[in-house]
């Protein structure tokens, strides 16, 4: 469909009129006009939008507290119902998923948007302001001063930030979507697509039941595109689409010395030292550059397409800034760009524990030492195959692999006993080709709004996408909307107001144009 130029109000009004009566001609309104209208509405309603957001953020939402999660689901359902959504609560375990549907007469395309309303646990004493007393600040912390939201008259500085648990991860899309729909109605911007929302109440616990939810309700998830609205945007603050994620798995590895702590003087040089054994094990698995030394580990790793590599090469290179900010002299990866490195599998030692250091150190040789490894996996890798490769590697390195606490007899009869505690199967990640038709369609729409759109083949992190990817044919693309410095999972989580406003403009354009050709 040819685009109508936005050079006259008449044309614009005509377009609205046509669309209202002729759904087959969706998405006639020019992108700039849509975003302008959404912004106009938003400027008139900033306080109202933020009050709504504050109400939602005021509800404690620790993922582990199911009563709180249920209460959040209840409020969100009400907010959606009042905008015409049909809602239902899906539940395959303890946690609720809010599923909402808004049908657009005549629309032939369907968009599913994903967000989550549960949050990471908070250590309240570490927060500058209480995590469930959302606080508007005139600048980022430290340094910012609180502002009474109710007393602001006139416009809100878009650099102000709202501090609360889940402000950035991940309640914002919910509030942005409903107020975008309010704006579209108020400004006469027609919807072009059927909308489905899947709002997750257990994402921070790894969405353990989402697979069952899909299996039990397969038709609910029919759509042309799954749009995952989670995660931080690029540090450059430019609009971004992300086409893949790494998967994640965890294994705790324990090595053993004697069955009781031994005096390091009396037995040092003789008793096996489990900390040292862990060190030999870790260095056998991973080079100093992060390269995994396990035979076969890279066998199925999906290589980057020309388009993906080109996209990476045109992304802003933030490495120098990042290194400076994080005081990193030499990153791992031998100079390969971060954006490319995260398309490769990684093994990260995330924690290690044995005895004490500093004043808690004691002169003993410990009975055991444990390291926890996080495996980031990429498309085409098979988690269970990687498990096999790692265990083969350890056996080749002379370790005797067990999966339960070894008995004294097992320790006595085998050298270098190592326990592998695989904490779930994990998943391998996914990547939607940028060349897919729907991907190209989405990129086209987004580029009209944001010509400097960043296209990221894969983010390094993990989202609960595999359950969808494994079960549905729908392409999955990630639309990150939160500021990169939102402190997700940590203390003083926040959202920058401009990111809420930008999210509304993006949703407005998508909802108005995705149904077009």
User: Residue 47: what are its φ and ψ, rounded to 5°?
Assistant: -60, -45
Write down the least CB distance from residue 425 to a copy of itself, Å.
16
Write down the least CB distance from residue 354 to a copy of itself, Å.
5
CB 76 within 8 A of CB 61: no
Q: Is 222 helix (H, G, I), strand (E, B) or coil?
A: coil
Write down the least CB distance from residue 14 to a copy of itself, Å.
46
Selected from 354, 386, 445, 505, the binder of a copy of itself by CB under 8 A is 354
Q: Is the dihedral of CA 318, 322, 325, 328 positive or negative?
A: negative
Selected from 93, 146, 218, 268, the binder of a copy of itself by CB under 8 A is 268
Write down the least CB distance from residue 78 to a copy of itself, Å.
33
Using CB under 8 A as the criterion, what x/- string covers residues 480-509 for binding a copy of itself?
---------x--------------------
Taking CB under 8 A as the rule, does residue 128 contact a copy of itself? no
Write down the least CB distance from residue 237 to a copy of itself, Å.
16
**Tokens encoding 281:** 């094990």
Q: Which of residues 235-254 bind a copy of itself (CB under 8 A)?
A: 245-246, 248, 250, 252
Instruction: Give the binding-site size for a copy of itself (rule: CB under 8 A).
Output: 87
Residue nearer to a copy of itself on the CB measure, 26 or 399: 399
Contact segment (CB under 8 A) with a copy of itself among 83-91, 162-170, 256-264, 302-310 equals: 256-264
The rounded distance, in Å, linking the Cα atoms of 370 and 356 is 13
Residue nearer to a copy of itself on the CB measure, 346 or 467: 346
The distance from CA 203 to its chain's CA centroid, rounded to whole angstroms, is: 9
Taking CB under 8 A as the rule, does residue 342 contact a copy of itself? yes
Taking CB under 8 A as the rule, does residue 326 contact a copy of itself? yes
The rounded distance, in Å, linking the Cα atoms of 80 and 97 is 14
Taking CB under 8 A as the rule, does residue 191 contact a copy of itself? no
Runs of H (alpha helix) within 22-132:
31-44, 46-57, 66-81
CB 187 within 8 A of CB 41: yes
User: Residue 104: what are its φ and ψ, rounded to 5°?
Assistant: -105, 115
E-strand stretches of 378-497 = 400-402, 417-422, 429-431, 454-456, 476-478, 494-496
Q: Is residue 41 classed exposed, middle or buried when 0-12, 13-18 and 19+ CB atoms within 10 A define those classes?
A: buried
Selected from 351, 424, 444, 470, the binder of a copy of itself by CB under 8 A is 351
Contact segment (CB under 8 A) with a copy of itself among 89-97, 164-172, 184-192, 284-292 equals: 284-292
Q: Are strands 135-137 and 146-147 parallel, antiparallel or unpaired?
A: antiparallel
The distance from CA 344 to its chain's CA centroid, rounded to whole angstroms, is: 18
Tell me: cis bond preceding 450? Omega within 30 of 0 counts.
no
Residue nearer to a copy of itself on the CB measure, 219 or 327: 327
**Tokens encoding 498:** 């401009």
Taking CB under 8 A as the rule, does residue 64 contact a copy of itself? no
Write down the least CB distance from residue 194 to a copy of itself, Å.
32
Write down the least CB distance from residue 128 to a copy of itself, Å.
16
Taking CB under 8 A as the rule, does residue 177 contact a copy of itself? no
Q: Which of residues 404-433 bind a copy of itself (CB under 8 A)?
A: 408-409, 411-417, 421
Q: Which of residues 446-485 bind a copy of itself (CB under 8 A)?
A: 459-462
Using CB under 8 A as the criterion, what x/- string covers residues 363-402 for binding a copy of itself?
xxxx--xxxx-x-x--------------------------
CB 477 within 8 A of CB 165: no
Taking CB under 8 A as the rule, does residue 123 contact a copy of itself? no
Q: Determine if residue 110 is left, alpha or beta; phi over 0 gives left, psi from -120 to 50 gives alpha, anything else beta.
A: beta
User: Residue 472: what are its φ and ψ, rounded to 5°?
Assistant: -125, 155
Angle between helices 31-44 and 437-449 (to 10 degrees): 60
Contact segment (CB under 8 A) with a copy of itself among 11-19, 51-59, 103-111, 271-279 equals: 271-279
Cα atoms found within 13 Å of the Cα of residue 283, Cβ hemisphere only: 5
The distance from CA 16 to its chain's CA centroid, rounded to whole angstroms, is: 36
Residue nearer to a copy of itself on the CB measure, 36 or 279: 279
Contact segment (CB under 8 A) with a copy of itself among 28-36, 147-155, 188-196, 286-294 equals: 286-294
Selected from 152, 341, 401, 453, the binder of a copy of itself by CB under 8 A is 341
The rounded distance, in Å, linking the Cα atoms of 471 and 466 is 8
Taking CB under 8 A as the rule, does residue 2 contact a copy of itself? no
Using CB under 8 A as the criterion, what x/- string covers residues 295-324 for binding a copy of itself?
----------------------------xx
Q: Are strands 244-256 and 429-431 parallel, antiparallel or unpaired?
A: antiparallel
């Amino acid at each position: 469909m040819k685009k109508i130029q936005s050079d006259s109000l008449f044309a614009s009004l005509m377009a609205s009129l046509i669309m209202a009566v002729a759904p087959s001609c969706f998405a006639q309104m020019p992108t700039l006009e849509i975003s302008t209208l959404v912004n106009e509405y938003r400027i008139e309603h900033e306080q109202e939008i933020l009050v709504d957001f504050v109400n939602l953020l005021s509800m404690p939402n620790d993922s582990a507290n199911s009563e709180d999660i249920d209460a959040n689901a209840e409020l969100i359902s009400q907010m959606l119902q009042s905008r015409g959504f049909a809602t239902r609560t899906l539940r395959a375990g303890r946690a609720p998923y809010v599923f909402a549907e808004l049908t657009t007469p005549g629309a032939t395309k369907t968009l599913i948007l994903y967000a989550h309303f549960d949050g990471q646990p908070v250590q309240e004493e570490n927060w500058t302001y209480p995590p469930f007393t959302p606080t508007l600040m005139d600048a980022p912390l430290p340094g910012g001063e609180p502002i009474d939201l109710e007393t602001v008259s006139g416009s809100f500085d878009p650099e102000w930030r709202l501090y609360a648990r889940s402000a950035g991860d991940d309640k914002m899309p919910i509030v942005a979507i409903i107020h975008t729909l309010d704006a579209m109605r108020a400004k006469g911007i027609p919807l072009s697509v059927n909308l489905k929302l899947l709002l997750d109440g257990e994402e921070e616990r790894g969405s353990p039941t989402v697979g069952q939810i899909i299996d039990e309700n397969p038709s609910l998830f029919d759509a042309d595109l799954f749009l995952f609205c989670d995660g931080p945007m690029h540090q450059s603050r430019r609009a971004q689409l992300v086409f893949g994620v790494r998967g994640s798995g965890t294994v705790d590895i324990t090595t053993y010395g004697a069955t009781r702590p031994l005096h390091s003087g009396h037995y040092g040089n003789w008793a096996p030292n489990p900390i040292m054994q862990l060190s030999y094990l870790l260095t056998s698995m991973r080079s100093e550059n992060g390269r995994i030394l396990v035979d076969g580990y890279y066998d199925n790793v999906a290589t980057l397409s020309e388009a993906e590599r080109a996209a990476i090469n045109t992304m802003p290179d933030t490495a120098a800034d990042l290194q400076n900010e994080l005081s990193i002299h030499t990153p791992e990866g031998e100079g390969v760009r971060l954006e490319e490195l995260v398309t490769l599998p990684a093994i990260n030692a995330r924690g290690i524990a044995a005895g004490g250091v500093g004043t808690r150190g004691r002169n003993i040789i410990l009975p055991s030492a444990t390291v926890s490894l996080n495996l980031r996996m990429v498309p085409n890798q098979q988690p269970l195959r990687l498990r096999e490769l790692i265990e083969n590697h350890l056996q080749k390195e002379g370790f005797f692999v067990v999966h339960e606490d070894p008995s004294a007899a097992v320790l006595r009869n085998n050298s270098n006993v190592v326990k592998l505690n695989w904490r779930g199967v994990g998943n391998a990640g996914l990547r939607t080709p940028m060349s897919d038709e729907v991907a190209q369609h989405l990129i086209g729409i987004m580029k009209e709004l944001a010509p400097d759109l960043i296209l990221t083949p894969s983010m390094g992190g993990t989202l609960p996408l595999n359950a969808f990817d494994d079960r549905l044919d729908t392409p999955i693309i990630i639309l990150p909307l939160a500021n990169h410095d939102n402190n997700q999972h940590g203390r003083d989580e926040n959202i920058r107001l401009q990111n809420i406003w930008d999210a509304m403009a993006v949703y407005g354009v998508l909802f108005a144009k995705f149904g077009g050709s």
